A and B are shown apart, each in its own frame.
Chain A
């Protein structure tokens, strides 16, 4: 694959007594679209600020093109940021905002003019050159912020939740456009978000962060299909997490729970005979039928049926008190709340994961 453009080595950072980043390492390749995905407070913004040079790590190194830039100030790095709130200079026009970085780099007037026009075209804001940022809509400001950062031709573009302030429809449209931009420019994008859908849609690779560490790094497919930990499984795609005792180990395992037994598959994580194992099952993979038809599976009671976003969401309670969520296309199903059910799934869809030992929301 391509050459390494950015390397983080064993980076740690604390603010006062709070450890925000705990020895994280990451290698990013030229032209990659990588997303740091995590809940608020997981350290993703701090990671970004360290890469930008707005923050300096307590330990560890940042290498840009193989060169140690750990203590370089932001203006000495070929890395630029699109800020969460855009940070457009309110006293400058759109054109002046975009030209600002170029002026500092001592480009000639003609060069600047040409580049600004080019950038405005790139983000489809031709004719907005003399507007003030205050006169633009959120989506337009977003584009100006991107144009301003891209104008100085960075090797890496950092985007801090750039779509956070936009409404859903605009967000979807901008996702598509950002991806197009990245392909067109060939710049490495490091993207921060807490929205798993955004991450899955746009990224070449996703790094899921939790408590200042990387929980799993992989392609969207890997992250979604074979999550390593219960946290990743739940955070990306809201999988059900079940725990049971391993009765038969191997590639396919059998688990005992008070509610019954079921099979699961080991992809990345192995299970040991006699130990507790943690299994993730996505809601759309959960099947159930009325209990009287004597099937093998777990017995459960339907607790809730809700219809949202074109999907029917059914909450099932197992006899040991664990709950499962199943989802179906459609508006309603014949089963009633309170009815006894037998729950089952394809063994290959029950993935053995590491237990993050966290109360899942």
Chain B
């Protein structure tokens, strides 16, 4: 009885995982397809990779995405961490409203935020481009950093800070020596999550970017919409490889810590 139910759950999870990985695996396989028509296998080839590496626009988009992801996750980490820290120190009524408002960007459909930013940035007369992209992305990255750091701070033993002060630490030294090291893992995972979300974002980027600034997802999106070339397959495979390395790295780092 028991073994049967276990094997059923195993089979169920197995099937879901296979379907989950199927499109990804196909993509990788077809990126080595000689033929331009992806439904026909024309033999093994790396020509799409060669073509990809000659595509300067693609590299520019990749570079933009990296800059955007790093800047917005750093901004979000600073603002979110300070905010979470301040909220545990100062109890005031505005905190509840502010917490709700600041986490709203990941609660509502992205399209709302996108349209709102588009309208608001043009009202302010901001030039659309990297600045507006960073502002928009920071807005939806803050909640991740804020919530993770706040959860960590709330769970922290208050007597640790008291013990440090008791031993002669000033408030600043307590923050530097005790609080910061203890919330560092939360800040780090907030930043990683922020970067991933920023790197993945299509909707908000589409609306708030300028004519000349492409991010990688925007470029992929327009290419998929206009006409598919296997070059995209190659790009996707490479990005997949990068993801795999990152996931492996973070698991490895997590294990090291333990």
Contact = CB atoms under 8 A, between A and B. Distances in A.
Interface of A: 52-54, 73-75, 79-81, 83-85, 87-91, 100-101, 104-105, 148-149, 152
B55 interface: no
A85 B157 contact: yes
A87 B160 contact: yes
B60 interface: no
A53 B170 CA distance: 13
B164 A100 contact: yes
B167 interface: yes
Contact of B159 (A83, A101, A104): A83
Contact of A100 (B162, B167, B170): B167
A75 B181 contact: no
A83 B162 contact: yes
Contacts of A152: 167-168
A54 B162 contact: yes
Given A85-B157, A89-B178, A90-B182, A75 B162 contact: no
Given A54-B165, A87-B160, A90-B182, A75 B170 contact: yes
Given A75-B167, A87-B162, A148-B163, 5 more contacts: A52-B166, A75-B165, A100-B169, A104-B169, A149-B167
B173 A89 contact: no
Interface string B137-157: 000000000000000000001
Interface residues of B, number: 17
Interface string B32-74: 0000000000000000000000000000000000000000000
Label chain B's interface by main secondary structure: helix
A87 B165 contact: no
Contact of B173 (A80, A90, A104, A148): A104
A91 B166 contact: no
23 contacts: A54-B166, A74-B165, A81-B163, A81-B166, A83-B159, A84-B159, A85-B157, A87-B160, A87-B163, A88-B163, A89-B163, A89-B177, A91-B181, A100-B164, A100-B167, A100-B169, A100-B177, A104-B167, A104-B169, A104-B173, A149-B167, A152-B167, A152-B168
A133 B179 CA distance: 17
Contacts of A52: 166
Interface of B: 157, 159-160, 162-170, 173, 177-178, 181-182
Q: Which of A53, A74, A80, A85 has the most CB of B within 10 A?
A: A74
Label chain A's interface by main secondary structure: loop
A73 B166 CA distance: 9
A73 B169 contact: no
Nearest to B160: A87
A265 to B, nearest CB: 46
Nearest to A77: B166
Contacts of B166: 52-54, 74-75, 79-81, 149
Please list the 7 inter-chain residue pairs (A to B) with the smallest Cβ-Cβ separation, ordered nearest first. Answer: A101-B167, A87-B163, A87-B159, A104-B168, A74-B165, A75-B168, A91-B181
Contacts of B167: 75, 80, 100-101, 104, 148-149, 152
Contacts of B163: 81, 83, 87-89, 148
Q: Which of B157, B167, B169 has the most CB of A within 10 A?
A: B167
